Every structure is written in C-alpha cells, then in structure tokens.
Amino acid sequence: MTVYLALDEKIRINFFSAPIKRNSKSTSQQMCAHIGSITWDGFNTLEHKKEHRIQCSLCGKRFGNDLEMLNLLLYQEKIKKILYELFILKYPLTGIAIRWGIPQDKLSKFKRSLVLQVFQQNSEVIEQKIKALPRGVILGDETYMGSRGNSNAEIVFINNDYETLSTGPVDEGELKQSILKAFNKIPETCRKKLKILITDGEPSYKAIAKLFGSKVIHVVQLHNKDQRGEIIISKFKKLGPHFLHYKIYTHWKAFYRDKHELKFKWEIKFIKEKIQAKRGRPRNSDKIKHKNVKWRQKLENYQSDSFKKEGTAKIYVNFKTNKLSMRAGANKWMILMLTPLLKIFKGKHATTNLIESKHSQVKGSGAGKKQRDKEYGHVLFTLHAFLVEYGHIPFTNLTGRPLYNYLMKDEKKKKIGYRILEGKRIFVQTVLNGYE
C-alpha cells in the first residue's frame, strides 16, 4: 500500500472552478473558487450513520454534506496522489495509469499539461534562484534525456554543494552556444564568483574559461578509454586580441595520497584570434608606431627560441600546511594554478563524478525517459531538478478539472427498465428479473 507522506506540502496545487453559470442567484462562486481549499469540518449525525461536513478554508463557507463539493474534495485528493506517485515516488506512468483506471495517453497528456503550467507560473522560482558558490567551484556536463545517443541532450551546471545552478537544452549543431546560454542563465552575482570550472573533455567548455581569462582555472577530466584517469589543468591569459593557454597534464590522484613530490608535463600554447580588418585608408591614429607595444613585445618573447613552450616540472606538496614549493623545471604560474586545487581535492579524486551523480539523481526512472519534444524535455528535467532539492511542486493554479470523468465515475447502478410517459413527466418503469 502506497503511503503519501505530507501530501499537501509536497503537491502544492490549486484548482480553478468551472465558469459561473448564467442567472445563478448564488454569489459565493464569484467571491471564492473553493476548489483546492476544501477541508473536512466534522460530521453530521443521522439516524443510522455519520456524514462528513465540508468547509472552505479560504472563505469559511460551510457546505454541509453537499455531494458535489464532497466529490470535488475527493477528486482533489486523488489528483494529488497521482502527482505524488509521478513526481515524488517516480513510479512508471504505465503502472499509475492501470492502478487508477486512466488511459495511458490521457495521463501522459495531463502530466505534460501540468508540467508546462508549473513552469509557466513559476519559471523565476525554478530557474533564477540565487545560490551560493562555495570556493568558487562550478561543475558542468551534458546528459541525455533517454538512452545514450538520443539527440535531446541537456546541459547542467551545479555548485560544489550538489545544488543545480542552471540547465539548458542543447541545440543541434550549436553545442558551444548552448553551453554559453545555459551558463548565462546563472544569476550574475553567482557567475562572478567563479574561480574553478570542472568539466569533461568537451572542448566547448573552454569558451567559459576564455571569458574569465586568468581569473578561472579549468579542470578537465578525460573520459576516453586510452586517456582515462588523466586530467588537464589550464587557464587562459589575454594577450591583446589573442590568448596564451597555460596547460598542466597530470592524473586524477594527484592530491589523493600523501605523495610529496608531484611530477607533471606542461605547455604554453598561443591561440590566435580573428582581428577585424578595416576598410579604406588607415587613419592617423592607426599609424602610431608604439601602439600596443606591451602585448606585441610579449608575443615576440613567446615566439623567440629562448622562450620554453613545453617541458616537465616537479613540485613539492606539503599536505600538512597545504603549501606548494617549486622544484626542478617549475614556475610561479604553476604554483598559482595548483594551490587552490590542493585545497579542494586534498584526499580526493579530481573527477566529474559529483555532477554525473546529479544526473542520475534528477532523472531517476521518471524524468529520464526519451522525450520527442525537446522543449518539453528541458522543462521536465528542470522541474525534476527542482523537486530533488526542495521536495515539492511549487504552488500552481491548475486550470479545469483534468481526469475528472475517470477518477469520479458514478458508482450507482443504473436501473434496468424502460421509459414511460405519465402526464407531463417521464418515469422509468423497472423490469422484474423473474416471477415467483
């Protein structure tokens, strides 16, 4: 038997009442919709039994044992239980449809309608909630909404406290733009605190590191079979319109054990960016001889034969004081890049396991099914990410009375008979099953 713990707290939905009937003498429906706020209010004691009284918790109106309002109360409870099974317990939709006697396609349409209404009415609460960024760490990764190879992929960013910062759908052929779009959905106050970006080997995440320049350290864990266990630690330094890319090649157990001497490979690459060409004759300001002298001199130094662009280095790691010291082949920029990582990964593996675990937690068995509609798949994934962290559906006004005909079937047996006309009224003459 399914137990629905804190049903009203976890499923926060309200129902709109049906349109007001014409020539109705009652004004109560104009003042309060009642539906979604009806509660039990004691009992009416009759000769042979007790019947529930019903009251609206918003306006205080009492309905006695009005059958229609009682039906709405039972209907409301059934709808909440169905949503509890769908989103909190994450039962398969097919099993829920059989258990409640609802056609599977109707239940699927109801689920889709509810998800879109929840997202439409609460998009700011779900997507733009400001969260902390401990140690300035953001993890980014993509996940498939269904089986591997499904094109409906989702980009996810989380912080080091296992909280979802942002999600976004992947547009086919535009992964880099999709990643930047999902990243920019993170509130600006949170984005500015970014210091360490942890991703897999997807090259498009470099665009985020390039935006922040030397302020952000990018940690890449490689998942290819022949590179498994390797990580690349890098940062970008602006050089006029171009970039210098500083890279350290090491392994995911670099700070896992108390191994005091860390040996690794490193390289510095020059990344040439496009320079906008100007049309027409050059202006006098463009003829200045000493324009951009500083970055041009740095570029000449990099291009000279005396500048070492790659090699190996050793660094001494003090696990007690969390300090690094240079050894043979090391440079100051290596110390600056590795020191903040030692504080985060000391005694741990430098991996993306945290965000991969987040994918499994969000998708479970309900949200992970393949969705043909990419936009709906994104909304569904985002809602499940919200549910995982907060444990409830945000308050939503649900229009109409979906699934009412399936959940509130008339259980009274129909009389077997035929209609007869007596005066101006029509009666049903019952048929006797047999004679004695």
Ramachandran bin of 223, using left for φ above 0, alpha for ψ from -120 to 50, beta for the remaining angles: alpha
Residue 205: what pLDDT? 96
Residue 117: what pLDDT? 92
Residue 29: what pLDDT? 39
3-class DSSP assignment, residue 298: helix
How many angstroms separate the most distant Cα atoms in the chain? 122
Model confidence band, residue 212 (pLDDT cutoffs 50, 70, 90): very high
Tokens of 99: 């258990």
Distance separating alpha carbons of residues 174 and 382, to the nearest angstrom: 20
Is residue 168 predicted with pLDDT exceeding 90? yes
Residue 421: what pLDDT? 59
How much of the chain exceeds pLDDT 90, in percent? 45
Q: 149-153, 197-201, 324-328: which has the minimum mean pLDDT?
A: 149-153
Tokens of 376: 């709906």
Q: Are 35 and 15 in contact (CB under 8 A)?
A: yes
Sheet bearing 50-56, strands edge to edge? 38-45, 50-56, 62-64
Q: Residue range 259-282: average pLDDT?
A: 82
Q: Are 315 and 223 in contact (CB under 8 A)?
A: no
CA 324 from chain center: how many Å?
38
3-class DSSP assignment, residue 383: helix
Q: Which tops the pLDDT comparison, 92 or 218?
A: 218
User: pLDDT tens digits for 1-31?
Assistant: 788 999 989 999 887 544 444 444 444 434 4
Residue 88: closest CA among 8, 28, 174, 14: 8
Which residues, 6+ apart, have CB-to-CB distance to 415 below 8 Å?
428, 430
Model confidence band, residue 306 (pLDDT cutoffs 50, 70, 90): confident
Is residue 51 predicted with pLDDT exceeding 90? no
Q: Are 254 and 262 in contact (CB under 8 A)?
A: yes
Is residue 60 predicted with pLDDT exceeding 60? yes
Place of tokens 């003090």: 318
> What percentage of the chain's residues is helix, strand, coil (to nearest 5)?
35, 25, 40
Q: 119-128, 144-153, 197-206, 359-368: which has the minimum mean pLDDT?
A: 144-153
User: pLDDT tens digits for 102-142?
Assistant: 999 999 999 999 999 999 999 888 887 889 999 999 999 99
Residue 10: what pLDDT? 94
Give Cα separations from 38 to 35, 58, 64 (angstroms).
6, 8, 12
Distance separating alpha carbons of residues 225 and 202, to the nearest angstrom: 15
User: pLDDT tens digits for 187-199?
Assistant: 999 999 999 999 9
Tokens of 148: 């591997």
User: pLDDT tens digits for 69-85?
Assistant: 667 778 888 999 999 99
Residue 25: what pLDDT? 45
Q: Are 366 and 90 in contact (CB under 8 A)?
A: yes
Distance separating alpha carbons of residues 302 and 299, to the nearest angstrom: 5
Residue 152: what pLDDT? 78
Distance separating alpha carbons of residues 394 and 123, to the nearest angstrom: 10
Distance separating alpha carbons of residues 335 and 265, to the nearest angstrom: 14
Is residue 202 predicted with pLDDT exceeding 70? yes
Residue 108: closest CA among 392, 380, 391: 380
Model confidence, pTM: 0.78
Distance separating alpha carbons of residues 323 and 372, to the nearest angstrom: 52
Averaged pLDDT score across all residues of the chain: 82
What DSSP designation does 285 have? Answer: G
Q: Residue range 399-411: average pLDDT?
A: 80
Residue 116: what pLDDT? 93
Q: How far apart are the first and last CA of the chain?
A: 46
Q: Residue range 29-45: average pLDDT?
A: 65
Residue 393: what pLDDT? 94
Q: Which tops the pLDDT comparison, 333 or 28?
A: 333
What DSSP designation does 274 have? Answer: P
Distance separating alpha carbons of residues 111 and 1, to the nearest angstrom: 23
Tokens of 245: 């890319």
Residue 276: what pLDDT? 64
Distance separating alpha carbons of residues 163 and 186, to the nearest angstrom: 12
Residue 73: what pLDDT? 78
What DSSP designation does 365 have? Answer: T
Is residue 101 predicted with pLDDT exceeding 80? yes
Model confidence band, residue 295 (pLDDT cutoffs 50, 70, 90): confident
Q: 145-159, 187-201, 278-292, 326-340: which has the minimum mean pLDDT?
A: 278-292
Work out the angle at residue 69's Cα, subtended by the Cα atoms of residues 66 and 71, and round it to the nearest 5 degrees: 105
Model confidence band, residue 90 (pLDDT cutoffs 50, 70, 90): confident
Distance separating alpha carbons of residues 113 and 376, to the nearest angstrom: 10
Q: Residue range 159-165: average pLDDT?
A: 94
